Amino acid sequence: MTHKDHVNLIQRGVPKGGVWADFGSGNGAFTLALREAAGPDAEIYSIDKDEKALNTQIESFDQEFPGSKVHFYAADFTKPLKLPLLDGIIAANSIHFLKDRISVLETLKTYLKPGGRLIVVEYNVDTGNIWVPFPFSFQTFEELCIQAGLAKPAILYKEPSRFLNEMYSALTFKK
């Protein structure tokens, strides 16, 4: 996928500005897309366990968006984090590594302001493999949101994938 694909997946759900976090940000493909979509006034928290990946992000931000308000945290996003209340969260290809997705969604919800946005990017399948152990289709995501006390999600974008057929992005809100 290209940077443009990453932006396309999330931009319809990201207003300009605000305080956002990318949970399980990896090498920062969606963190960079978030910065492009939210603009220069956004403040972003990029969270991943892999310090090497975060260093790659730092280099990318220095080249692509110097002077951006981005905080890089080497941390496990399933553990408690000290963050301000967020206007939005991106969880792109990160929740599918965790079996208890309802607990993860409930945890993510605690970081959001009332009405805060959660954008998930996921493979649109319910059967995984060793690289993507617990993917969830959009239909399953709808059920997970209800169980986690989030608003009914809406599809933002779909993108064909050579890996597991199709990716989707979806937006839900903290009630």
Q: Residue 140 sits in a domain of what CATH number?
A: 3.40.50.150
What is the pLDDT, as a whole number, of residue 97?
Answer: 86
Structural domain that includes position 153 = 3-173
Task: Indicate the number of domains in the chain.
Answer: 1
Query: What average pLDDT values come out for the chain (175 residues) when binned by 10 residues?
Result: 93 97 96 97 97 95 95 94 97 91 95 98 91 93 97 95 88 97
Rounded CA-CA distance 87/111 in Å is 9
Give the sign of the dihedral formed by CA 151, CA 156, CA 160, CA 162. Answer: negative
Bridge partners of 121, per DSSP, are: 92, 169
What is the pLDDT, as a whole number, of residue 39?
Answer: 97
Rounded CA-CA distance 167/163 in Å is 9
Q: What is the 3-state secondary structure (H, E, C) of the chain?
A: CCHHHHHHHHHHHCCCCCEEEEECCCCCHHHHHHHHHHCCCCEEEEEECCHHHHHHHHHHHHHHCCCCEEEEEECCCCCCCCCCCEEEEEEECCHHHCCCHHHHHHHHHHCEEEEEEEEEEEECCCCCCCCCCCCCCHHHHHHHHHHHCECCCEEEEEEEECCCEEEEEEEEEEC
pTM recorded for the entire structure: 0.95
Residue type present at position 140 = T
What is the pLDDT, as a whole number, of residue 111?
Answer: 97
Backbone angles phi, psi at 135, to 5 degrees: -70, 165
What is the pLDDT, as a whole number, of residue 134?
Answer: 87
What is the pLDDT, as a whole number, of residue 104?
Answer: 95
